[in-house]
Amino acid sequence: MKIVNPVLTGFHGDPSMIRVGDTYYIASSTFEWFPGVRIHESKDLVHWNLITSVLDRVELLDMKGDPCSGGIWAPDLSYADGKFWLVYTDVKVIDGAFKDMYNYLTIADDIKGPWCDPIKLNGVGFDPSLFHDDDGKKYLIQQTWDHREYHNPFNGLTLTEYDTEQKRLKPETAKNVYEGTKIKTVEGPHIYKIDGYYYIFAAQGGTIWTHQEVVARSKSIDGPYENEPNGPFITNFDTPDHYLQKQGHGSLVETPSGEWYYASLCARPLHHDTENIYDPRGWCPLGRETSIQKVEWDADGWPRVVGGHGGEVDVNAPIDAILTDAPQNSAAIDTFDSDRLDLEWNTLRVPFSEKMGTVGGGKLELIGQGSLSNKFNLSFIARRWKDFEFETITKVQFEPYNFQAMAGLANYYNSEHWSWIFITKDDDGNNVIEVAQCDNGRYTSFFKEDAIKIPENVDWIWFKTIVDHLDYYYEYSYDGENWARIPLKLDAMILSDDYVNLHYGGFFTGAFVGLAAVDYSGYDSKATFDFFEYRV
């Protein structure tokens, strides 16, 4: 078998991969999307199934008011003492001198939970991970944030012992053990003990084109640490033609037979025909995905990526891989028969509740709340873009009171970058179809006074979005068979990490597609959705 990268397509960044027995697990970042921390499972490193989201209740994760790309950064999954341990960060401030955050620990006997109420750790810095030493001690290693303008804000990695009896860190043991290299921006650390050495794997360069992973080692856990010669361990900064870009920030795992693999975030840039493919290097609407590279150890005991530090697209699977049954692609249909949203659906910052609407019995009802720019009260469920080419279809019934009530199909990056096709009311009292876009906070109604009037005898409207790499389109139908394309070609660049990074410091997620109801007049207009389909 071959591992074909990326193994987790669409927004799945900062992978924390472990093995328990013959089973591998990957935990990935979710930022402001609820529930927090997705877990995928595999026995062959090739085929992966989404099995749970850990932070599925407000007691574990309260993100109301969190900024875009705040929330859950770089979770760390580990297994020790017969239990699963998850360390995670909830980031409350993105831009400016500060990164206010809270780091927590939760523990479970089973990967699917229940997970214990959170144990608050500290706010020293983000990307914490827990190392379980063979003498029974446990240590937290994390990025160290420094708000002082005369220092680099990424002020090395801090190591702090964790007291399992008192369930707290011991701040008196805190020590800065590693500063990284001249590339700076050191973050995302993990510690591994292999053949008598403590190895630190850490990301550097930021999660942009300069991203990389470095390795350092020491005979003592508190250093001093020696950098890997002829590094970095992995990067695509000097491989601009490679299919995979931005690799770094990941984790190491050993197979039962003694092979080694490294899971990394990565991205796949797209380009407009008119652009130089090196500058800009491209646009990544699918966000930061997950790749897996094979690792070998050189004669001096340093890890090396097979095929060179740029990595490979096709990677040999483990020799002891157990074939895993998993979906062949990302196609899916939801007819809303269950009274719970399936695992692929996400909401922003808070869980789906009766305030947003209800699901079950073959329909989804959404109660209109704030706009798609609202960070507090929003009735919107969404799932990741996972392919460069796909289409989604839904069927909606909606009777708006006025132009302030809207419901339809949306493509979304964050509160400042999105578009949608929706039903609303015009000034003459007609139900109409409109398409609008928000680009860096600038809102545009494309039809204005010429919105498409819906015939009076039509109760249901079908909406479709068609994505073709950087181009995407909307269509509508009154019967689900005969479709009319909206004469607009929209640019998926606006829904990419790289475009958002031009305007805002939080650019860590990816494009989503979903169903929304808005009624900022406060009259709670209700939209009914019959189904949702994702086709590839």
Q: Give tens-digit pLDDT for 96-145.
A: 999 999 999 999 999 999 999 999 999 999 999 999 999 999 999 999 99
- Residue 492 DSSP one-character state: G
Q: Among this protein's residues, is 14 annotated catalytic?
A: yes
- Cβ proximity of 29 and 8 under 8 Å: no
Pairing state between β 417-425 and 512-519? unpaired
Q: Choose, from 14, 334, 434, 439, the residue flagged as catalytic.
A: 14
Q: Choose, from 90, 161, 187, 387, the residue flagged as catalytic.
A: 187
- Cβ proximity of 185 and 204 under 8 Å: yes
pTM: 0.97
Q: Tell me: the pLDDT tens digits for 134-165?
A: 999 999 999 999 999 999 999 999 999 999 99
Which pLDDT score, from 0 to 100, does residue 284 have?
98
Query: Lowest mean pLDDT: which of 147-151, 277-281, 435-439?
Result: 277-281
Domains and CATH numbers, the chain: 2-316 (2.115.10.20), 332-535 (2.60.120.200)
Which pLDDT score, from 0 to 100, does residue 509 have?
98
The pLDDT mean for the chain works out to 97
What CA–CA distances, in Å, run from 99 to 36, 153, 497, 509?
A: 19, 10, 19, 18
Q: Among this protein's residues, is 187 annotated catalytic?
A: yes
Which pLDDT score, from 0 to 100, does residue 381 have?
98
Which pLDDT score, from 0 to 100, does residue 500 have?
97
Tokens 């860190």 label which residue? 169
What CA–CA distances, in Å, run from 425 to 405, 406, 447?
A: 7, 8, 13
Pairing state between β 16-20 and 314-316? unpaired
